[in-house]
């Protein structure tokens, strides 16, 4: 649900978007430790799941964080994150976090992430949708830094629709 309690605004152009770009899919199961007293996934856990899915998406593209740190003295940090919740994931649910690269700019990467039921078909309404703006920064000075190659070209290719969301595309 949106902050106002309804679904309308989000489904009319908010965070939900059609799955045009290829998505990396990262499956998980909702464990007891992920839930609140009502047996529903605690809201902050969606952020944790999204972080893990982003990391695995980059790794699947052949772009592990360690390479960015060691070879380019850079790190990716969350600059902004926006989350909308529609339905709760519940204890024992099998869900998938889909990660799509939307845009690559000078120092930023815009991602669309959705938590969907594992059994849902393409275009199913997500349980939650996240819009994540990552920034590349210098590891020492913590200043914005242009996204280095091969990261830039791989991410731009993914944003343009190259690859099926699995495996390296570089």
Does the residue 170 lie in any domain?
Answer: no
Q: What CATH number is given to the structural domain containing 88? A: 3.10.129.10
Look at residue 22 in the predicted model and tell me its pLDDT. 80
pTM of the predicted model as reported, rounded to 2 decimal places: 0.81
Q: Is 36 a catalytic residue?
A: yes
- HEC sequence for the chain: CCCCCCCHHHHCCCCCCCCCCCCEEEEEECCHHHECCCCEECHHHHHHHHHHHHHHHHHHCCCCHHHHHHHHCEEEEEEEEEEEECCCCECCCEEEEEEEEEEECCCEEEEEEEEEECCCCCCCCCCEEEEEEEEEEECCCCCECCCCCCHHHHHHHHHCCCCCCCCCCC
Does the residue 40 lie in any domain?
Answer: yes
Does the residue 1 lie in any domain?
Answer: no
Does the residue 168 lie in any domain?
Answer: no
Does the residue 164 lie in any domain?
Answer: no
Does the residue 165 lie in any domain?
Answer: no
Q: How many domains does the chain have?
A: 1
Look at residue 75 in the predicted model and tell me its pLDDT. 96
Does the residue 89 lie in any domain?
Answer: yes
Look at residue 162 in the predicted model and tell me its pLDDT. 65
Does the residue 39 lie in any domain?
Answer: yes
Look at residue 150 in the predicted model and tell me its pLDDT. 87
Enclosing domain of residue 134:
8-159
Active-site option among 34, 36, 92, 133: 36
What are the per-10-residue average pLDDT scores of the chain (170 residues)? 38 47 91 95 97 96 93 96 96 96 96 92 82 97 95 91 47
Look at residue 7 in the predicted model and tell me its pLDDT. 41
């Amino acid at each position: 649900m949106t902050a106002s309690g309804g679904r309308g605004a989000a489904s009319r152009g908010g965070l939900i978007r059609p799955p045009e770009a290829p998505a990396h899919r990262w499956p998980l199961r909702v464990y007891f430790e992920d839930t609140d007293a009502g047996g529903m996934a605690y809201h902050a856990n969606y952020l944790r799941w999204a972080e893990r899915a982003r990391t695995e998406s980059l790794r699947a593209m052949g772009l592990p964080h360690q390479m960015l740190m060691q070879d380019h003295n850079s790190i990716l940090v969350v600059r902004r994150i926006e989350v909308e919740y529609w339905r709760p994931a519940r204890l024992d649910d099998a869900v998938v976090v889909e990660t799509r690269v939307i845009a690559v700019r000078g120092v930023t990467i815009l991602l669309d992430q959705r938590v969907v039921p594992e059994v849902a078909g393409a275009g199913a309404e997500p349980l939650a949708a996240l819009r994540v703006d990552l920034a590349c920064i210098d590891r020492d000075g913590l200043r914005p830094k242009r996204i280095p190659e091969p990261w830039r070209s791989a991410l731009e290719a993914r944003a343009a629709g190259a690859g099926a969301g699995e495996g390296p595309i570089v």
